[in-house]
């Protein structure tokens, strides 16, 4: 009987192992059957009997590589409430973006993770106390040959529990944990700086796209005004045509310009919509959102900018977020060298235990034998590394290499920062000069158009001159609108690269131009 039971047990174990190995390979049914067949696209799918129904096509039908729809993906998370009835200026758009943009929220989570890493590093300075409970039961059946009686089984029962409290404490390590904690603090500081830098970049992106949208709105308004001017020219030609003073060619040219102006209005409307979508994208809100945005045009800008000074450049470098983060990485790498150096030194541990246990023993029909005990102990251990195959030496050289790379990265970031500030300064200087020239061009072009149209009405000039004057006025207004937006963007760009674009209020007034 015992032989049969053992045999059955062994067969059950073997069958169970084979079943497990078969389940692992059956999971291949979840993958596509060939490179040109659609995959199995059932979520929460289970293998039943080693086979799984697939979505692959059969016969002469073309394979269908569509994917299943998941209605949960269409639910848009909206962290803030947006009032679509309000007209938003730049400062309000920036505030809305800072509260809803997923990039800033993601960087915020990373900053919290870096802060928690500091706490975890500091926790290694404290002892570790653990509580343990061990319990168990063992039953043994031993056959004994008893004279005159034959074979008999003697059952033995052993059971018991043991509870203990253990203490482990690394009390001295030549500053290794302190160095690692300092490195974590530097990384946390860099994460906070990066978080603020992400907000600075968000402010700049919203500012840039806002000015571009304002220019697009102005371009649409100019196109509408140009259409009105073209219709005025056409009306003048038609008035002269009724009197027999205009030719059919002049009338055709006037109608052609009206058609061209109508096309410009359509294109300008499309550009305005595209610029609006780019603004919403920079803000990090739903692109289906329909809000009113106040235009930035009409502000008086300075006529010149003298450029960045050496003192201003040094001040900008001292507050650049990327430089601060890179310098923190240098400091963290120096702490990494200290930690690697400490690994060559001995470590002192303190360990202690306090435990108690009880158990019982029973053999056959004999009385139970019980036992209770308690123990306490304290150990001081000094560990001195002697040989590790060069592992610590390699770690030390790697820490030095990381520190050297961090220093060179910092120097590269510093040089790039100087270049960005100087280029941004030159761009602002050029943009302001172009804006001043464009304003004069609009004034002269407007005078030219008014004079050409009046002259044509009085029969003193041709229709060609009037049409060219209208086109010239259109080009001048568009150039002035683009130049003003470019100057505002250049000012924001310089403020961003100098680390001064830190809030929406830094863009108030003259948009950061000094």
Is domain 102-126+173-345+389-511 in CATH 1.20.1600.10, yes or no?
Answer: yes
Kindly state the percentage of the chain with pLDDT values over 90: 47
pLDDT confidence band for 57 (50 / 70 / 90) = very low
* pLDDT tens digits, one per residue of 130-156: 999 888 888 887 776 666 565 667 777
- Minimal CA–CA distance to 58: which of 37, 30, 35, 28? 37
Q: How confident is the model at residue 507 (pLDDT cuts 50, 70, 90)?
A: low
pLDDT higher at 111 or 83: 111
- Model confidence pLDDT, tens digit, residues 191-211: 999 999 999 999 999 999 999
Q: Are the CB atoms for 283 and 100 separated by under 8 Å?
A: yes
Give the span between the Cα atoms of 176 and 184, in whole angstroms: 13
Output the six-digit token pair for 467. Answer: 């049409």
pLDDT tens figures, 289-336:
888 998 877 677 888 888 888 999 999 999 999 999 999 999 999 999
CA-to-CA distance for 478 and 271, rounded, in angstroms? 13
Q: How far apart are CA 234 and CA 242, in angstroms?
A: 12
Rounded Cα distance between 493 and 514, Å, is: 14
Q: Are strands 128-146 and 150-172 parallel, antiparallel or unpaired?
A: antiparallel
* Higher pLDDT among residues 415 and 361, named by residue: 415
pLDDT exceeds 70 at position 481: yes
Give the phi and the psi of residue 438 in degrees, each rounded to 5.
-65, -35
Give the residue from 281, 266, 275 showing the smallest Cα distance to 295: 275
In 3D, which of 97, 48, 41, 95 has the Cα closest to residue 69? 41
Q: What element of type H or E holds 9?
A: helix 2-26
**Residue ranges in 306-390 assigned as alpha helix (H):** 310-319, 321-342
pLDDT of residue 510: 41
- The SS3 of residue 85 is coil
Q: Where are the domains of the chain?
A: 102-126+173-345+389-511, 128-172+347-383
State the Cα–Cα distance between residues 129 and 210, nearest whole angstrom.
58
What number is the average pLDDT over the span 434-455?
91
**What are 446's two structure tokens?**
């407007």
pLDDT in tens, 245-304: 778 888 898 899 899 999 999 999 999 999 999 999 999 888 888 889 988 776 778 888
Instruction: Using alpha carbons, select from 110, 124, 117 the residue that is nearest to residue 186.
Output: 117
């Amino acid at each position: 009987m015992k032989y049969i039971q053992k045999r059955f047990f062994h067969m059950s174990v073997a069958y169970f192992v084979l079943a497990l190995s078969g389940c692992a390979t059956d999971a291949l049914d979840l993958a596509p059957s060939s490179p040109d067949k659609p995959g199995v696209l059932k979520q929460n799918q289970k293998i039943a009997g080693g086979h799984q129904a697939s979505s692959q096509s059969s016969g002469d039908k073309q394979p269908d590589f569509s994917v299943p729809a998941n209605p949960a993906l269409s639910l848009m998370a909206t962290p803030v409430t947006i009032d679509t009835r309000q007209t938003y200026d730049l400062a309000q758009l920036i505030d809305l973006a800072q509260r809803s943009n997923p990039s800033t929220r993601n960087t915020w989570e990373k900053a919290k993770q870096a802060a928690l890493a500091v706490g975890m590093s500091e926790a290694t300075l404290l002892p570790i106390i653990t509580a343990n409970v061990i319990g168990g039961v063992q039953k043994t059946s031993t056959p004994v040959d008893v004279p005159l009686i034959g074979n008999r089984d003697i059952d033995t029962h052993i059971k018991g529990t043991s509870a203990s409290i253990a203490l482990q404490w690394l009390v001295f390590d030549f500053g290794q944990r302190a160095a690692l904690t300092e490195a974590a603090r530097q990384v946390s500081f860099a994460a906070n700086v990066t978080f603020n830098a992400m907000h600075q970049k968000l402010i700049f992106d919203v500012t840039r796209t806002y000015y571009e949208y304002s220019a697009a709105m102005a371009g649409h308004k100019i196109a509408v005004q140009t259409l009105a001017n073209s219709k005025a020219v056409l009306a003048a030609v038609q008035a002269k045509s009724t009197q027999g003073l205009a030719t059919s060619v002049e009338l055709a040219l006037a109608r052609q310009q009206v058609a061209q102006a109508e096309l410009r209005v359509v294109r300008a409307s499309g550009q305005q919509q595209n610029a609006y979508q780019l603004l919403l994208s920079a803000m990090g809100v739903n692109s289906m959102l329909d809000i009113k945005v106040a235009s930035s045009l009409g502000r008086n800008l300075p006529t010149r900018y003298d450029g960045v000074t050496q003192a201003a450049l040094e001040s900008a470098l001292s507050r650049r977020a990327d430089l601060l983060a890179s310098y923190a990485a240098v400091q963290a790498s120096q702490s990494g060298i200290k930690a690697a150096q400490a690994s060559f030194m001995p470590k002192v541990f303190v360990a202690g235990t306090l435990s108690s246990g009880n158990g019982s023993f029973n053999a056959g029909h004999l009385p139970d034998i019980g036992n209770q005990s308690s123990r306490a102990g304290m150990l001081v251990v000094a560990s001195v590394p002697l040989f590790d195959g060069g592992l610590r030496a390699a770690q030390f050289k790697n820490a030095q290499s990381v520190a050297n790379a961090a220093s060179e990265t910092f120097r590269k970031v510093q040089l790039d920062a100087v270049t960005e500030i100087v280029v941004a300064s030159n761009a602002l200087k050029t943009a302001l000069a172009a804006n001043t020239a464009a304003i004069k061009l609009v004034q002269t072009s407007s005078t030219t158009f008014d004079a050409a149209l009046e002259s044509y009405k009085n029969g003193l000039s041709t229709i060609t001159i009037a049409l060219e004057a209208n086109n010239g006025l259109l080009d001048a207004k568009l150039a002035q609108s683009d130049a003003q937006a470019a100057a505002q963007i250049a000012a924001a760009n310089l403020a961003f690269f100098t680390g001064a674009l830190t809030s929406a209020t830094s863009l108030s007034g003259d948009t950061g131009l000094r």
